[in-house]
Structure 1
Amino acid sequence: MSRPAPWLLYAILAIVAAILAANTFFVVDQRQEAIVLRLGQPVRVIHAPREAGGAGLNFKTPFLENVVTLDRRNQAMEADQEEIVTGDQERLVVDAFLRYRISDPLQYYRTLHDEHTAQDRLERLVNSSLRQILGASTTDDIISGKREVLMAQSRADVAKRAKESQLGIDIIDLRMKRVDLPTANQASVYTRMQTNRQQAAAQYRAEGEQKKREIMAAADKEVTITLAKASEEGAETRGQGDAQRTRIFAQAFGKDPSFAAFYRSMQAYEAGLGQGDTTLVLSPDSAFFKYFEQGPNAGAGPATRR
């Protein structure tokens, strides 16, 4: 019986070595973490944040252990559209997305096993939380008024539920991507919102008109008081001026009675004839015209006419 050729033996040894190496050594990427399973049970984690061992070349017991890799980066999940009944009995269709990361790979694998199961479980948590949080809020709050506050409450609620369920996951963020009205409800909701805005605008206009009337009434009152005070002060000032004028005239008339008579006659002429359209029927020798005939000395005594 002939012996096998040496090259055939070397080839068999090389194949056995390659199979053994393939089942012993494995590489963990920087973006991954690996769970080593022994007979289907997880025994250790490689390149996890809190575990020994790092990325790169690693080894396992051949044929007894196998490796499951998980993504250690932040992951995104988009939840299916969910129809929610709000606190004011309106229906809304909500699209939400979630960002999370694996914080405990062993717990994650024991509870969820794979990414598909994890996303299915998280989607149910998100939808349940949104129905609870948004169902107690009004449509206006969800659309604009308190959207950020409601999302923060939902995010905290989902994080709490994930921790209580021991999913091995940290919730990073939860957002509503879109909030729409069901097609059948859009017209009625838009009409109601328009009516509410018109009522609010009418109320603001009424309050503004009332405020305007109050301001105008206060201003009119202030003007009336100011005018009354000014009129009173003016009358008092005019009275003082008239008294002063009368006193000065009295002193001046007492010193020269003829000049006083002449001055009063000039004032009478100005008042009676100043307009140019006055008709007087008087006797030619009337005292009213004595200064026209005799001049300023008409009322003076003999000493004055000299």
Structure 2
Amino acid sequence: MKSFSFSVLFVVLLGILAASQTLFVVQETERAVVLKFGEIVREDVRPGLHFKLPVVNDVKKFDARILTMDSNPQRYLTLEKKAVVVDSYVKWKIDNVAQFYESTSGDVFVANRVLSSRVDTGLRNKFGERTMHEVVSGQRDELMTELRDDLNVVAQNELGISIVDIRVKRIDLPPDVSESVYQRMRTEREREAREHRSKGMELAEGIRADADRQGVVVVAEAQRDAEMIRGDGDANAAAIYSNVYTQDPEFYEFYRSLQAYRESFNGNNDLFVLEPDSEFFKYLNSSTSNSAAK
């Protein structure tokens, strides 16, 4: 009984060992090739359970998902010979598994190194054909599309991979150029500020001069209206006085004399040197004589 159990266990272990050597699984995110003494005999093995010959066959698996190659920032020259520092990245995936294995021995780092060199050359050529404004804003998307299409052809022929996308994360000026650019920008902004300030002062002077002119006009018109009103008042007063004088000249003369007395003797220290029979004392003398007679 013990011998039978041991035999069964031995057969099971032998079956597991044989299965591990003859069966292999390719995941959904993987692609694989089967080698026979280093030579590819089965290309692009799809996901699932597959068989191989022990010892004779070997299986190489590769990541079938989209991979990212993040390049180091590089310095390029634009059409105006202005230096820029470009930080970019590439999205790629394996398109031809057999060709990828033959060109890179299945090493992703080798593929990234070759791809990085191609991208560097492509960016250098594309930036050299465009101005600073075009690479920063005007034709940036067009540049990336052209580079992706050109590089995709080369990558498929040489590495068996396809380029999904190429993007520039940022474009900076080198430190030695940034300071001069900032200084030029500062100078331009200061010049613009001076122009705006001078225009504002000119506008303020115009507004101030117009306000002064309007003030002079308003005062002159007010004075004109006041003189006209005063003239009308004097004319009306003269007409009233004339009417009163014609109605009773004696009373009018008496009334005017009383006004003269009031204004002349208004102060306590006033001193007049006049003749006693002066016309100015006409009504005073007559009133005094009347009192004495009574």
Fold conserved between structures, TM > 0.5: yes
Matches within 5 A, 1:200-215: 200-215=192-207
Q: Which residue of 1 aligns with 2:159?
A: none
1:164 equivalent in alignment to 2:150: yes
Displacement, 1:247?
Answer: 1.6
Task: Write the distance in 2 (CA, Å) between the matches of 1:297 and 1:43.
Answer: 156
Q: Which residue of 2 aligns with 1:122?
A: 119
- Alignment-mate amino acid for residue 163 of structure 2: I
**CA separation of 1:259/1:60 partners in 2, compared to 1, >3 Å: closer, same or farther?**
farther
Task: Write the distance in 2 (CA, Å) between the matches of 1:71 and 1:227.
Answer: 87
Report if the CA contact (8 A) 2:87-2:171 is conserved: yes
Superposition RMSD on alpha carbons, in Å? 4.2
**CA separation of 1:61/1:19 partners in 2, compared to 1, >3 Å: closer, same or farther?**
closer
Report if the CA contact (8 A) 1:130-1:154 is conserved: no
- Alignment-mate amino acid for residue 70 of structure 2: M
Look at both structures and tell me which one has the larger radius of gyration over its CA atoms.
2
Matches within 5 A, 1:252-271: 252-269=244-261
Name the SS of the counterpart of 1:220 in structure 2: helix
**Structure 2 segments unaligned to the other structure (5+ residues):** 1-5, 156-161
Task: Write the distance in 1 (CA, Å) between the matches of 2:42 and 2:186.
Answer: 60
1:27 equivalent in alignment to 2:19: no
Task: Write the distance in 1 (CA, Å) between the matches of 2:60 and 2:277.
Answer: 150
Percentage identity across aligned positions? Answer: 20
- Alignment-mate amino acid for residue 139 of structure 2: Q
Displacement, 1:179?
Answer: 4.0
1:18 equivalent in alignment to 2:28: no
The one of 127, 139, 143 equivalent to 1:153 is 139
Task: Write the distance in 1 (CA, Å) between the matches of 2:70 and 2:22.
Answer: 39
Displacement, 1:121?
Answer: 3.2
Task: Write the distance in 2 (CA, Å) between the matches of 1:275 and 1:220.
Answer: 45
Report if the CA contact (8 A) 1:45-1:105 is conserved: no
The one of 267, 275, 278 equivalent to 1:283 is 275
Cα deviations by residue, 1:217-258 (Å, 9 ceiling, x for unpaired): 221222222223222222222222222222222222322323
Q: Which residue of 1 aligns with 2:95?
A: 106
**CA separation of 1:108/1:240 partners in 2, compared to 1, >3 Å: closer, same or farther?**
farther
Displacement, 1:162?
Answer: 0.3
Report if the CA contact (8 A) 2:85-2:173 is conserved: yes
Name the SS of the counterpart of 2:274 in structure 1: coil
**CA separation of 1:110/1:249 partners in 2, compared to 1, >3 Å: closer, same or farther?**
farther
Report if the CA contact (8 A) 1:78-1:97 is conserved: yes
Per the normalisation by structure 2, the TM-score is 0.66
Report if the CA contact (8 A) 1:35-1:45 is conserved: yes
Report if the CA contact (8 A) 2:79-2:129 is conserved: no
Report if the CA contact (8 A) 2:122-2:147 is conserved: yes
- Alignment-mate amino acid for residue 27 of structure 1: Q
**CA separation of 1:236/1:278 partners in 2, compared to 1, >3 Å: closer, same or farther?**
same
Segments ≥4 residues shifted beyond 6 Å: none
